[in-house]
Chain A
Amino acid sequence: NNNNNNKSNINSHPVGRSRSQLPTPKAKKYDRQLRLWGDHGQQAIEQARVLLIGANAVGTETLKNMVLPGVGSFTIMDHRRVTEEDCGSNFFVELARIGEPRAKVCAELLRELNEDVIGDFLEDRLDVLLQRDPGFFTGFSLVIASGVRHSDLLVLSDLLYDRDVPLIVCQQHGMLATCQLVAREHFVWEAHPDNPLPDLRLENPLPEFVAFCDAQDLSAMDSQRHSHTPWLVILYKFLSKWRQANAGKFPSNYAERQAVRQLIRSGERGESDLHGDEENWRQAQSAVTTALLPSKLPSNVNELFKLADQFWLRRQQLSDSSAPSEDRQAAVPPSNWLLLCRTLAEFYRQRGCLPLCGTLPDMVSDSDRYVALLNIYRRAADADLVEFSRLLRVVCLDIGLSADSVPASQIALFCKNARHLRLVKTASYRELSRPLPQTVARCLEETAEAGPSPFWWYLLFHACDRFHTEFGRFPGDTDDVNFLADAGQLKLKCQQLAQDWLASLATTSAAGPTSAPEDLLHELCRFGRAEVHSVAAWMGGVLSQEGIKLITGQFVPETRTMLYDAVSQTFLPVF
């Protein structure tokens, strides 16, 4: 199992560090991306092994954007030979190499993009290798299947899903492309939210913070000191005043927060002299909206607690029962993230809060007071981290693991991002590609009113796959001028598919048509499965970053089935 969650070498020599502090050539090359995912993210990328099945335009464009940032290694599987058509859509083939194995040519031209990356290729047919050597597939960190037929995807996904190897599936028809991430469980270590609320704990303030604020006498300050008092101190003082006058309760609604804001305004001096601009007081007033929100456990974290508790409960039940140890689940040690989540739940139960994040936003202030505040919060966060680590050791020992199972840097990263942690998961491709009848009925009903929608296209893509299975080519993929003749068969396939999907519904829903509008049938036949390069490149950009999210555990992946429509420039969920 090659996923990043069990990395024990997160401390090893990061890419950027050298004794003189001057960047290494590699750090220089990757500088612009290191600023986005850090040295540890880069390390995860450099340890990843990616398999691309389908060296077509979308596939190679996706891989290109993973080779450039330095993915450890890739393998391309494709049984086809380079054709003239490839040379009009795929950047990683050449006219001079028509007839050669496509996997070989693409592997060479992709590998030469980045000398740090290892790449190889296979000419095997996917269906053959799936039968002959299924173990081959589960050794990768990520598998990308571009333009692979449905029947093969079912087998592939079944193989990868339970082994926790994430799969990215994509198809292109002309100006349209669909994609889907398939991952049983993916833990997001660092979500990097856009505007996170600061972790100030004003509801239950840190004792050291209280002492610091109490030692400040606003009325006795000269104007320099007054106008350089950090807003956090100002806010706390007036909050306390309000709480004293309201039986100690914490502001719980808009009106009460506004009352605090009014109190702050009354403390402004507003005289204009050399240091007269009291921006800090204005900052204190605007901070009221975000700093005084009652803290509650984020739902994403609550979900993690439930998962961890369920896992532990099951473990307990299995060890208590006299069931034979055939059940491998019990014997497999939990991933680091599960250990950490279990500990987090325990921490929360004991302390009633998550570990303190420890950072503060910037604010107008003199140096000494801002630094003092930072240190107060940092010390408290450090103390929480020590306590958390102690609890973690107990959790590990308790289930027979070594006390140092999780590296210190990973524990610190986990605590720092505690509020934004989440587990992302999808169903298997088998389930995803057979939507629930209720879902289908709803989509058909919606589209009957709104007109062409991603759902129709998605349905048609599957119908095209069935068409291909029967006729050995895609609708419209012919030099025959009468390409529209295929529309009839495509329509039949579409209707059959919709009926299949609706089959188990008790009521025969006559609510919507079960055939795609004529326009869409026509347009798909027009495309004839063309690989329009700019559309493939767009999808390649999106999928490569989704792959990096899965590899690094940073940023939040898109888990819905999506459709890119380059005509309307939309990227919308199918269901």
Chain B
Amino acid sequence: MALHDVQSSPGTDNRWRHVRRLLERAGPLGGPEFEPDPELFSAIRSDLVQILVVGAGGLGCEMLKDLALSGFVNLHLIDMDTIDLSNLNRQFLFRPKDIGRPKAVVAAEFVERRVSGCRVTPHFGKLEDKPLEFYRQFMCIVCGLDSVQARRRLNQIVCSLVQFDESDQPIPTSVIPLIDGGTQGFQGHCRVVRAHATPCLECTADLYSSTQQGFPLCTLAHTPRLPEHCIEFARIMQWPQEWPFGEEVPVDGDDPHHVDWIRTEACKRARQFGIREPDFRLTQGVVKHIIPAVASTNAVISAQCVTEVFKAITGCYPLLNNFANFSDIEGVAVNVVPLERNPQCDVCGQPPPKPLTFNSRDSLQTVINQLKSEHGMTRPSLTACVEGRDVTLYMDLSFLRDQLADNLDKSLAELGLLSNTVLNVTDSAQSGMKPVTFVLNLEDGMET
């Protein structure tokens, strides 16, 4: 369907009545600074309001639908996976014919078709494929990820976008609200992260328990008790000895023949020890660390997240403060907890970047000299974001020194560094040191 100007599209007046009631009418329970305005609705549909959905799976599909039906029109969706049959019980934007296609692409197509006027730009890839600058364009980021690592990566990205003023306070427009949703079976959570105001995802890293079922190796090898032990023994120990599908061919949990081989071996071992023999479902569950999932929980958590996105962008109601738990195993329980920041947090507990003042004609060597003389570094290594890409400027490590030596004599301007460029610096002489961030201040300077 051709994308026409959403302002003049037929039916806009009545179609979005539901949302416009919240934006155009005053209400006593609204946010403290909220002022209803007939322009608010077109404002949330302007190019200024771009929203990123991270993950196009069980949560992502729901979030996309909910955002589209909240009136937002500039949506981006990033996901690195393709569609699998086992997704179809809850990832409702996909059909059997879509199996094998990228999730982000298919989801975008479906929502653009169903909710006309909504533009969804799919990105088939990983979070790291995008430079930092990509993320800066969004007014809000909402994520439905199933991995702790991806969450932490996203959290780092959002936190590193924060800029600080002269008194080291975060500049509000640089703080992108991050709304995080997660589910597991009949339980889930929704939380709101505003870097430096609320805890970031790293502050509470221990909340996200790993799904790894690490059994002690001696149990697997000598004293198995459970069917799971037999399965893991077959996967971890027998497989690399027998290479049943070819030398060095690793276990593919999605290949039923691989899983069945493991199951057969596990059953043999189980019989040997008098243990209950595992079936296919248990075997695959252990091999793939499968987390059970249903449509209902994903619907709840995503909806809650998108309600918060709407609040964050329009200010029509106060935001969730700041973590909500959900479970509907016994009755239905929702619990809101205000989590606290961790002052020692690796990500948001860092002091704001220190300014480094130079002239754009100064050489990189000059910068390095200052890092050594005034900031206690011995062998500093620097990276920066240049023209949308993360670039290594210099690394003081024996095998890289020569390759990047040319950069030392280049001026900052030649290297493409502008004012407000953030430099990440580590010191090779201090192992285990966390990167220190600096921000470039060029006196004659062009700015990013």
Contact = CB atoms under 8 A, between A and B. Distances in A.
Interface residues on A, range: 35 or more
Given A523-B28, A526-B21, A545-B186, A21 B116 contact: no
- Interface range on chain B (Cβ under 8 Å from partner): 35 or more
A30 B14 contact: no
Contacts of A538: 299-300, 303-304, 307
Interface stretch (B73-81, B101-109, B326-334, B341-349): B326-334
Contact of A367 (B25, B69, B223, B317): B223
B223 A365 contact: yes
A16 B16 contact: no
A569 interface: yes
Contacts of B27: 522-523, 526
A276 interface: no
B279 A88 contact: no
Contact of B292 (A22, A35, A362): A35
Contacts of B116: 94-95
B89 A84 contact: no
B320 interface: yes
Nearest to A527: B21
B88 interface: yes
B299 A61 contact: yes
Nearest to B317: A567
B86 interface: yes
A69 B18 contact: no
B302 A537 contact: yes
Contacts of B96: 115
A23 B263 CA distance: 13
A376 interface: no
B357 interface: no
A69 B92 CA distance: 11
Contact of A366 (B223, B295, B331): B223
Interface string B302-325: 111011001000000110100010
A557 B331 contact: yes
Nearest to B285: A35
B332 A537 contact: no
A21 B279 contact: yes
A89 B69 contact: yes
A27 B259 CA distance: 15
Contact of A532 (B18, B115, B295): B18
A3 interface: no
Interface string A305-339: 00000000000000000000000000000000000
Contacts of A89: 18, 69
Given A29-B89, A192-B329, A545-B296, A569 B18 contact: no
Interface string B60-98: 001001100111000000000000011011101001100
Contacts of A370: 225
A32 B290 contact: yes
B144 interface: no
Nearest to A528: B21
Given A84-B11, A88-B71, A526-B27, A367 B275 contact: yes
Contacts of B304: 534, 538, 566, 569
Nearest to A524: B27
B29 interface: yes
Given A32-B293, A534-B307, A541 B18 contact: no
Nearest to B318: A567
B11 A87 contact: yes
B336 interface: yes
Interface string A354-388: 00000000110111101100010000000000000
A35 B289 CA distance: 12
A401 to B, nearest CB: 33
Contact of A569 (B14, B224, B336): B336
Interface in A54-86: 61, 64-65, 68-70, 83-85
B15 interface: yes
A221 interface: no
Contact of B22 (A91, A95, A532, A545): A532
A68 B90 contact: yes
Contacts of B130: none
B26 A29 contact: no
A553 to B, nearest CB: 14
Contacts of A533: 18, 66, 69-70
Given A32-B86, A69-B294, A533-B18, A91 B65 contact: yes
B334 A569 contact: yes
A431 interface: no
Contacts of A545: 186, 294, 296-297, 328
Nearest to B298: A541
B205 interface: no
B290 A85 contact: no
Interface in A528-543: 528, 530-538, 540-542
B307 A535 contact: yes
B225 A365 contact: yes
Given A36-B294, A362-B226, A522-B28, A31 B332 contact: no
Contacts of B330: 191, 193-194, 555-556
A29 B86 contact: yes
A335 to B, nearest CB: 23
B281 interface: yes
A34 B284 CA distance: 13
20 contacts: A22-B280, A25-B85, A29-B86, A33-B293, A65-B295, A68-B89, A68-B92, A193-B330, A363-B225, A523-B29, A526-B21, A526-B22, A528-B21, A533-B18, A537-B62, A537-B303, A540-B299, A540-B303, A544-B295, A558-B331
Nearest 9 pairs of A and B residues by beta carbon:
A541-B299, A541-B300, A533-B69, A538-B303, A537-B303, A35-B292, A545-B296, A84-B14, A530-B18
Given A16-B280, A68-B89, A88-B14, 17 more contacts: A30-B89, A33-B292, A33-B294, A84-B15, A194-B329, A367-B223, A370-B225, A371-B225, A452-B29, A522-B28, A523-B28, A526-B26, A532-B19, A533-B66, A537-B65, A538-B304, A569-B304
